[in-house]
Amino acid sequence: KFPDALLPLLVLADSLIKGGQSDRGVGLIHKAASLDLTGQVARRLWGEDHAYKNLWPDNISTYLEIPIPAAVNGALGWNQLPSGSAVEKSDGGEEFHNFSEIRDSKGFPTPEILLNIDDDLEFANQKKDKRVGGKFPMYVVFSTRKGLDKKYGPETSSIIIEEMRKTTYAVRLKPGWGAIMVLADDPSSMANFGLKPTLSDDPWALKLALADTDRVLNEKGLMIGALLIVGGPDVVPYHKLPNPVADVDAEVPSDNPYGTIDENYFIPEWPVGRLPGGADNDPGLLLDMLRHISEHHMGKTLDKRSLWERFLEWLVSLFKGTASHNQSFGYVAEAWKSASQDVFKTIQERGDLVTSPPYGKDTEIPVPVTRYGYFNLHGVEDSPDWFGQKDFTNGSAGPDYPVALRPQDINAFDDAPLFVFSEACYGAHLKGREIEDSISLKYLSRGSHAVVGSSVTAYGSVSAPLIAADLLAELFWKFIDQGLSSGIALQKAKIELAREMNSRQGYLDGEDQKTLISFLHFGDPLASPTTAERKQPKAPVANSRHKPVEVKTVCDRSNLTTDIPSATLMHVKHVVKRYLPGMEGAEMVLSTEKKVCSGDGHDCATAHFGSKVHEETLGQRHVVTLSKKFEIPQNSGKTTHRHYARVTFDKAGKMVKLAVSR
């Protein structure tokens, strides 16, 4: 009856949070904070040192861009000059150029964000005994105002920006972290850093804006420690990177360049997460995710329940079955069970790995309550579903590619895993997708903290040793199991993948490169596995920055030919018979890995950056790429899946690597 009455609003919010409905409760407290800017009612209700005090700013101020009338200045005494002081004459003029050393900002309005940077720097200095050295990490909440305005409208855009600001405040509660908000195309936002606004629809201009922001932070003893991109590719565009593999993808949509200072985008220097909003203009998912992140980072502050209340909640969870939330779950194609088991063993304790077939839409789809969800299934560009693949060697009945998982199979909010890693092709494909036709978006809408997947065709192993997406998944889960946040886990997994493949073969080949740039992180890059680990990260972000791996690339996209020597063709047929049943009759092309590439007829990283691979390391390896179309029944029609396999032979004709598409 009285929706803006503050006292019942606060009581209801507190009850909702304690009752487990944190999203609604935190949202109501945000509303109360906007209606009571000084927090008077909250202090009267809960006392001065209440659990939610951090939602209200200590100092309320605004920056006026209009001149204050002289009469007002005079009445308030603001037109008084400060008392002077004697200054000795200087023989040299150097002092007059070092303005930052002699300024006195007392009494002058300082932009809010710069004040916050100064506060974080002061905090960093106070905590320097806890750092080995280097710079203090800052969490950057990043977007474009024009992108938000165009997609959601100016009024809704303002609401989203306000939630971004609240998320920034919430992250500052995290030990060892500061946070800032950056709207790269907004003059007032960039002026806070002494920078000019940039184009909202140019990904490289936005990348340079981040590099400039990092430079400004460096001057204050800070650095970008993690990046949260707010909005889908129609708000903050993907980088369209050249495809290093000769397959159907014209380019690779990627966020990798947003994680580096220089143009070499294979190895991230800080973790990057993105909050996508779906293809429609509904801001609900974006706002929910921002509030979810704020709640996550305020978890320690909000959890001031009594021991009795916590015991009751635990008791209720036993009857609800949510005590099993500490389990892991793997759902993989039957044909890839061997490689998937090697990945899943990292998180297998109290977890189950199941295959499709036999599971699929024609059976009960097994989506249990779990902490970690690992998926190694097929994905296609024009379907929201993920598919299994039967093992053709066992002669089992049923469809070759059964529907394994659909968005509608993910319904209950409490059932979503904290973290999801999918190896499926197009597992993170967003073009034209809304919540109900994207498994990734559906998991995010149901409360998953992070979803990792590929924007395009992904490649993996048939068996050990693990390569490409399988190796990335294994490394990701290893770092998650060590207690790292999801964004840092993915960052370190990419670094370790590059290091491992450099060790094995001396460089990154096509599927290595594509794996590094195509896998995206949706969600908060600082999302931690448990509340306890939120208090103090087990492995905080590095506070100094350098490229830990020297990137060496080769290109196998030039001089493609279907004229395959008979000896090589015989080797390929043997590989297909043994490892790839079902790929008989596939189209084949042959290429040679090259350390130097002109880029004629294609675009590749080797042509852009030049390669550092030595001639003796290259060894003249040849790659045979097989491709075959499969028609997969779906609903009342069919969808086309193009399956790829890449077989790499050394100079002696021995197979040294086999990668298959997901």
Do 602 and 517 reside in the same domain of the chain?
no
- Is 132's pLDDT higher than 60? no
Q: Are residues 147 and 282 in the same domain?
A: yes
Mean pLDDT, residues 411-427? 85
Is residue 79 in some structural domain?
no
SS (H, E, C) 319-378: HHCHHHHHCEEEEEEHHHHHHHHHHHHHHCCCCEEEEECCCCCCCCCCCCCCCEEEEECE
The partner residues of 460 in beta bridges, in order of sequence, read 660
What's the domain count of the chain?
4
Q: For residue 397, what pLDDT band results from cuts at 50, 70 and 90? A: confident
Share of the chain above pLDDT 90, in %: 43
Average pLDDT over residues 640-648: 89
Q: Is the pLDDT of residue 92 over 70?
A: no
Q: Look at residue 440 and tell me whether its pLDDT is greater than 60.
A: yes
Q: CA-CA distance, 428 to 379, in Å (whole number)?
A: 10
Would the pLDDT of 94 be above 60?
no
Q: Is residue 78 part of a domain?
A: no
**Which of 60, 76, 92 finishes a domain?**
60
Print the domain residue range for 32.
1-60
Pair 477, 358 in one domain: yes
Whether 230 and 321 map to the same domain: the answer is no
Examine residue 91 and state whether it is found in any structural domain, yes or no.
no
**597 and 488 part of one domain:** no
Distance of CA 90 to the CA centre of its chain: 54
Q: Would 262 be classed as within a structural domain?
A: no
pLDDT tops 50 at residue 113: no
| Residue predicted with more confidence, 59 or 608 | 608
In this prediction, residue 84 carries a pLDDT of 47
State yes or no: pLDDT of 317 exceeds 70.
no
Instruction: Please name every residue paired with 331 in a beta bridge, in sequence order, or none if there are none.
Output: 354, 375
Last residue of a domain, one of 492, 519, 535: 535
Is the model more confident about 73 or about 487?
487
Looking at the structure, do residues 482 and 528 belong to the same domain, yes or no?
Answer: yes
In a domain, 135, yes or no: yes
Among 10-14, 126-130, 411-415, 603-607, the range with the most confident prediction by mean pLDDT is: 10-14
**Rounded to the nearest 5°, which phi and psi values hold at 3?**
-65, -20
Q: Residue 641 has what pLDDT? A: 81
User: Are residues 166 and 33 part of one domain?
Assistant: no
Is a pLDDT exceeding 70 seen at residue 458?
Answer: yes
The predicted pLDDT at position 455 comes to 97
Span 321-343, mean pLDDT? 80
For residues 629 and 573, state if they share a domain: yes
Q: Who has greater pLDDT, 383 or 546?
A: 383
Same domain, 387 and 519: yes
Domain-located, residue 216? yes
The answer on pLDDT for 478 being more than 50 is yes
DSSP 481-506: HTT--HHHHHHHHHHHHHHHHHHHHS
How much is the pLDDT for 15? 84
Tell me the mean pLDDT in the region 622-633.
86
Residue 528: what pLDDT?
Answer: 86
In tens, the pLDDT along 19-71 reads 766 667 777 887 888 788 888 898 889 888 887 777 776 666 655 555 667 66
Is residue 608 pLDDT above 90, yes or no?
no
Whether residue 252 has pLDDT greater than 90: yes
Residue 367 domain-assigned? yes
Task: Spell out a b/e string for 552-580, using b for 16 or more CB atoms within 10 Å of the CB, else e.
Answer: bbbbbbbeeeeebeeebeebbeebbeebb
Answer whether residue 329 shows pLDDT above 80: yes
The domain that contains 330 carries what CATH number? 3.40.50
Please give the residue that has the higher pLDDT: either 331 or 53: 331
Per-residue pLDDT of 143-171, as tens digits, reads 999 999 999 999 999 999 999 999 999 99
Verify that 294 and 319 share a domain, yes or no: no
Q: Tell me: pLDDT of 95 over 60.
A: no
CA quadruple 116, 119, 121, 123: dihedral sign: negative
Mean pLDDT of all residues in the chain? 81
**The pLDDT of residue 570 is above 50:** yes
CB neighbours of 544 closer than 8 A, spacing ≥ 6?
Answer: 133, 134, 135
HSE (CB half, 13 Å, CA atoms) of 372? 31
Name the more confident of 75 and 305.
Answer: 75
Confidence (pLDDT) at 76? 66
Tokens of 150: 């165009």
Neighbours of 169 (CB within 10 A): 18
Instruction: Identify whether 465 is preceded by a cis peptide bond (ω within 30 of 0).
Output: yes
**Which helix (H) or strand (E) covers residue 181, if one does?**
strand 178-183
End-to-end distance of the chain based on CA atoms, in angstroms? Answer: 54
For residues 415-427, give the mean pLDDT: 92
Higher pLDDT, 274 or 135: 274
* Token pair of 571 as six digits: 């080797």
Contact status, residue 557 vs residue 607, Cβ threshold 8 Å: no
Q: Is residue 293 located within the same domain as residue 319?
A: no
Judge if 323 and 390 occupy the same domain. yes
Residue 353 lies in a domain: yes
